[in-house]
Amino acid sequence: MRKHPYSDLPGHCFWSRTHRAADLPDPEVTPGLDIGPEDRIATAGSCFAQHIAQRLQRSGYDYLVTEEAHPVIDPPVAKAFNYGTFSARFGNIYTARQLHQLALRAYGLFTPKEDAWEQADGTLVDPFRPAIQPGGFSCRAAFLKDRERHFAAVRRMIEDASVFVFTFGLTEGWMSTEDGAVFGLAPGVAGGKFDPARHVFANFTASETAADFAAFAAFARERNPGLRFVVTVSPVPLAATARKDAGVLVANTYSKAALRVAAEEVSRTVERCWYFPSYEIITSAASKGAHFARDLRSVESAGVDRVMRLFLQTCTRSGGPAPDVDAAARRAAKAASKAASGPSDEDAFTAEVGRTLDVICEETLIEEAAR
């Protein structure tokens, strides 16, 4: 038998052998990331990253949330105001450029010229997280207080996390022609007014996406040298494209291909950065579309379960559904220690902002109920 480069490769390297292994074969994941109960896991990215965050919390891991709702706010209201959806209250971060710019803004190193969108009723919308505050912010003072609190939470996330999981979601975005700031959504969709002289469509390349994430990783590690990264690609197709030269199917194929290439590049070039194949688990032809809902876009819970089962098996020290130490007990001990040391300036600031948020929530709920 002749020897060649493929002679001694394991079965998972061959399509036919992998496909025969099971009806829904899992991709091979090379061990390397070793998440333990002491690790603080932060997440950001597209809507699929929300699933990862929820399952980590349910599995008992120490999911890092640095921007929590004020204690008097009821959980359903806090959820409506996007508390706990991600590690900080930044909403979906669809592009790596947004992620890098958020970090720069949080540390006062980038201040976009277009920092708030005023609505007809006088309320304000944050251009960089336009859906974060139902009904908008009641006034400039409330907007600035919330943003200050948000930036402080982003800084704590970067400095306190052990593992940062980012899900690449889109290559398409909208950018300011004045300073290159990338918005959360196109102006006019969820606030603001679209101005073709001020707002331009961007469709980032794989190399641009990889460079943006690498820049964020370097920036974060200047402040947290031990930080490890996990990158994934969202399997959720584009809801719409702004391209006029292609339909959404073609645009989606480009977007996911570019994101997958970028994720591969950063996993190879950024130190202590791993790629996890959630995209392949959901979209592989071997899965036969089993994990998509009827709209062929939404991912069913069984698909998320499968992704997280493989993630916990291959990326955690226990290899199982829960860590050795209960995360809730650790958080309670941390809170007790903090209470024993007495209130800090940060606590006073949080309480003050909490009072502002109480008013904002009540006004919004009253206004909504009166409609």
For the stretch 265-321, pLDDT in tens is 999 999 999 999 999 999 988 788 888 898 888 888 888 888 888 888 888 876 665
Contact (Cβ atoms closer than 8 angstroms) between residue 64 and residue 42: yes
Q: What is the pTM of this model?
A: 0.81
Contact (Cβ atoms closer than 8 angstroms) between residue 170 and residue 257: no
Contact (Cβ atoms closer than 8 angstroms) between residue 159 and residue 144: no
Task: Extract the tokens encoding 339.
Answer: 């209470």
What is d(CA 296, CA 114) in angstroms, rounded to the nearest whole number?
36
How much is the pLDDT for 354?
A: 40
pLDDT digits (tens, 9 = 90+) for 43-60: 999 877 777 777 777 878
pLDDT digits (tens, 9 = 90+) for 154-192: 999 999 999 999 999 999 999 999 999 999 889 999 899
pLDDT band at 358 (very low <50, low <70, confident <90, very high): very low
Least-confidence region, from 119-123, 137-141, 360-364: 360-364
Phi/psi at 330 (nearest 5 deg)? -65, -40
Task: Extract the tokens encoding 1.
Answer: 């038998």
Rg (CA), the chain: 22
What percent of the chain is predicted at pLDDT more than 90?
52
Burial (CB count within 10 angstroms: exposed 0-12, middle 13-18, buried 19+), residue 93: buried
The mean of the pLDDT values for the chain is 83
pLDDT digits (tens, 9 = 90+) for 215-265: 999 999 999 999 999 999 999 999 899 998 999 999 999 999 999 999 999
Contact (Cβ atoms closer than 8 angstroms) between residue 53 and residue 79: no
Contact (Cβ atoms closer than 8 angstroms) between residue 83 and residue 50: no
**In angstroms, how far is the first alpha carbon of the chain from the final one?**
78
163-168 vs 228-233, strand pairing mode: parallel
